[in-house]
Amino acid sequence: MHRFFTEVYFKISKQKLPWLLGLLAFLVLCILCITKINFEEDISQIIPKSDKADITAKVLKQQNFSDKVIVIVEKKNATDDYALSETADDFLEKIEPLKPYISDVQGKVDDEEILQSFHFISENLPIFLEEKDYEIIREKLNNDSISQKISDNFSTMLSPTSVVTKDFIRKDPLDFSGIALQKLNSLNSNSNFQLEDNYVVSENGQHLLLFIEPKFGGSETKNNEKFAEGLEKIRGELNQKYRGKTEISYFGAPLIAVANAKQIKHDIQSTVLVSMALLLLLLIFYFKNWLTPLIIFVPTAVSVIISLVIIYFIKDRISAVSLSISAILVGLTVDYALHILTHYKHKTNIAELYREITQPVLMSAATTAVSFLCLVFVRSEALKDLGIFAAITVMLSAIFSLIIIPQIYRPKAVEIEPKKTLIDKVAGYPFERYKFLIISCLITIPVCLFGFSKVKFNSDISDLNFVPEEMQQSEAKLQSITDLAEKSVYVFSYGKTAEEALKHNTKVAEFLRQEKSGGNILNFTSSGEILIPESLQGERITRWKNFWDDARKAQTIAKIKSAGKTSGFSESAFSEFEELLYRNHHPLQINEFQELPALRLNEFLTEEDDLATLVSIVKLDEKKRGDFISAAEKNPNTLVIDRQQMNENFLGLLKDDFLSLINYSLIAIIAIFLLFFRNLGLTIFAIIPVLLSGIVTAGIFYFLGLELNIFSTIVCTLVFGAGVDFNIFLTKALQKELSTGKSALPTYRVSIILALITTLLAIGSLIFAKHPALKSVAAVATVGMLSVVIISFTIYPLIFSFIRKRTQKGLQPVSIRVFLNSVFSLIYYALGGFFFSILAMIFGKNAQRILKVPASKFLVSVLYTNPFVRKKFIPNPSEDFSRPAVIIANHTSFLDTLAMAMVTPKIVYLVNDWVYNSPIFGKVVKRFGFYPVSQGIENGHDVLQEKINQGYSLAVFPEAQRSETNRVQRFHKGAFYLAEKYGLDVVPVFIHGNSEVMPKGDFMIHDGKITVKVGGRISADDKNFGENYSERTKKIQQFYREKFQEFRNEMEDENYFKPLIFGSFLYKEREISEEAKRDFEENKSAYFEMNRLISADEKILHFCGDFGQIDMLLALSESARKIHSVIPEENRRNIASENFVVKKRRIFYHAEIPENQHFTTLIISDENVPEISLPESIRQIIIARCKNNGKFTEFSAARRNEKITVLKR
Which CATH number do you get for residue 1119?
3.40.50.150
The answer on pLDDT for 45 being more than 60 is no
My answer on whether 802 and 832 are in the same domain is: no
**Is residue 205 assigned to a domain?**
no
DSSP state of 1018: B
Count the alpha carbons within 13 Å of 1095 in the hemisphere toward its beta carbon. 8
For 828, 849, 856, 857, 862, the CA distances from 833, given in Å and listed in that order, are: 8, 17, 12, 13, 11
CA dihedral 633, 638, 644, 650 (to 10 degrees): 90
**Is residue 512 assigned to a domain?**
no
- pLDDT in the model for residue 1039: 95
My answer on whether 800 and 820 are in the same domain is: no
My answer on whether 1098 and 1033 are in the same domain is: no
How many structural domains compose the chain? 4
My answer on whether 825 and 939 are in the same domain is: yes
**Is residue 1106 assigned to a domain?**
yes
Q: What angle do CA 1075, 1080, 1081 make, to 5 degrees?
A: 100
Contacts of 533 (CB under 8 A, 6+ apart): 499, 502, 503, 506
Lowest mean pLDDT among 458-472, 585-599, 808-822: 458-472
My answer on whether 841 and 866 are in the same domain is: yes
Is 115 within 8 Å of 169 (Cβ atoms)? Answer: no
Is 988 within 8 Å of 1064 (Cβ atoms)? Answer: no
630-644: pLDDT as tens digits = 888 888 888 887 766
Which CATH number do you get for residue 431?
1.20.1640.10
For 276, 547, 553, the CA distances from 170, given in Å and listed in that order, are: 76, 22, 17
From 358, 390, 418, the end of a domain falls on 418
pLDDT band at 53 (very low <50, low <70, confident <90, very high): very low
Residue 525, classed as helix, strand or coil, is strand
CB atoms within 10 A of CB 52: 10
**Is residue 484 assigned to a domain?**
no
How many residues are listed for the chain in this entry?
Answer: 1209
Which CATH number do you get for residue 1030?
3.40.1130
- Distance from C-alpha of 234 to C-alpha of 228, rounded to nearest angstrom: 10
1150-1188: pLDDT as tens digits = 988 888 888 999 999 887 777 777 788 888 999 887 666
482-496: pLDDT as tens digits = 655 566 788 888 888
**Is residue 1057 assigned to a domain?**
no
As a three-state string, the secondary structure of 1133-1173 is HHHHHCCHHHHCCEEEEECCCCCCCCCCEEEECCCCCCCCC
Q: Please, what is the angle between helix 329-346 and helix 745-762, to 10°?
A: 150
Domain extent, residue 439, equals 425-454+679-809
The answer on pLDDT for 898 being more than 70 is yes
955-987: pLDDT as tens digits = 999 998 889 888 999 999 989 999 999 999 999
My answer on whether 693 and 717 are in the same domain is: yes
517-544: pLDDT as tens digits = 888 888 888 887 788 888 888 888 899 9
**Is residue 1114 assigned to a domain?**
yes
- Distance from C-alpha of 807 to C-alpha of 873, rounded to nearest angstrom: 32
Cα 1030 → chain centroid: 71
Q: Please, what is the angle between helix 350-373 and helix 710-740, to 10°?
A: 140
My answer on whether 725 and 758 are in the same domain is: yes
My answer on whether 911 and 1009 are in the same domain is: yes
For 11, 401, 666, the CA distances from 298, given in Å and listed in that order, are: 20, 8, 29
pLDDT band at 1018 (very low <50, low <70, confident <90, very high): very high
What's the predicted TM-score (pTM) here?
A: 0.75
**Which alpha helices (DSSP H) does 583-709 contain, by range?**
625-632, 643-677, 680-703
pLDDT band at 50 (very low <50, low <70, confident <90, very high): very low
**Is residue 510 assigned to a domain?**
no
My answer on whether 713 and 740 are in the same domain is: yes
The answer on pLDDT for 44 being more than 50 is no
Residue 1025, classed as helix, strand or coil, is helix
Residue 998, classed as helix, strand or coil, is coil
From 995, 1029, 1051, the end of a domain falls on 1051
My answer on whether 822 and 787 are in the same domain is: no
Is 1126 within 8 Å of 1101 (Cβ atoms)? Answer: yes
My answer on whether 958 and 826 are in the same domain is: yes
Name the residue among 182, 176, 174, 183 with its Cα closest to residue 134.
Answer: 176
For 81, 131, 540, 543, the CA distances from 546, given in Å and listed in that order, are: 50, 12, 10, 5
From 760, 786, 809, the end of a domain falls on 809
316-365: pLDDT as tens digits = 666 555 565 555 566 667 778 888 888 887 776 788 888 888 888 888 88
The amino acid present at 693, given as its one-letter code, is: S
My answer on whether 967 and 836 are in the same domain is: yes
CA dihedral 1076, 1079, 1085, 1088 (to 10 degrees): -40
Q: List residues bridging with 1200 in a β-sheet.
A: 1205
Classify residue 1134 by burial, with Cβ atoms within 10 Å: 0-12, 13-18, 19+.
middle
